[in-house]
Amino acid sequence: MTENSSVPKKKDGALLNSYKTQLRDNVQIILLNFEELLRMVFARTLGQIADGTQQEMHALEMQVRSGNLLRAGEALLKLVNDIKEYCIIYDFSSIEEEMNRQSKLLCAKQVEYDAIISEIVKDLADELTELEEEYYENSCGYY
């Protein structure tokens, strides 16, 4: 029994470590690409490459880096969504608390309704007894 309970905890731990690794990797990719974009904007080097060619290279590299930024941002959004789903699906403690609260509420209602029903039964029994006595009193004269 303890093996079965430890397996989900191990899976949960592995999943959470996976989320943590994905988060770290995506943030690192965003940071690296953003720093490189800033370096390209401020860096102006004179070299053997013509200005037009160098500008094309910078434009292409900026597109690649911004694509990497976008991809890492989308991966972070997907990771946030996965974590939300994980919290919703595997939040058994809050589900159990809600079930216990509902169960207690329904048990209290059951006790209340049982008391009302027993009062009604008692009143009906009294009324039937009175009606029975009245019936026998009135019918005794006919025999």
Task: Please write the tens of the pLDDT for every residue from 28-62.
Answer: 998 998 888 888 776 666 666 777 888 888 888 88
Global confidence as pTM: 0.51
Residue type, 132: E
Q: What is the dihedral of CA 9, 11, 13, 14, to 10 degrees?
A: 160
Which has more confidence, 38 or 92?
38
Rounded Cα distance, 3 and 102, in Å: 31
Residue type, 79: L
Residue with tokens 């079930």: 99
Residue at which a domain ends, from 47, 75, 90: 90
So what's the pLDDT on residue 11?
Answer: 73
Average confidence (pLDDT) over 116-128: 93
Query: Which residues constitute the domain of residue 21?
Result: 1-90
- Measured in whole angstroms, how far is the alpha carbon of residue 76 from the centre of its chain? 18
The answer to whether residues 6 and 16 belong to one domain is: yes
Is the predicted pLDDT of residue 140 greater than 50, yes or no?
yes
The answer to whether residues 22 and 74 belong to one domain is: yes
The answer to whether residues 10 and 60 belong to one domain is: yes
Is the predicted pLDDT of residue 1 greater than 60, yes or no?
no
Rounded Cα distance, 29 and 126, in Å: 83
The answer to whether residues 107 and 80 belong to one domain is: no
The answer to whether residues 45 and 100 belong to one domain is: no
* Backbone torsions φ then ψ of 55, nearest 5 degrees: -65, -40
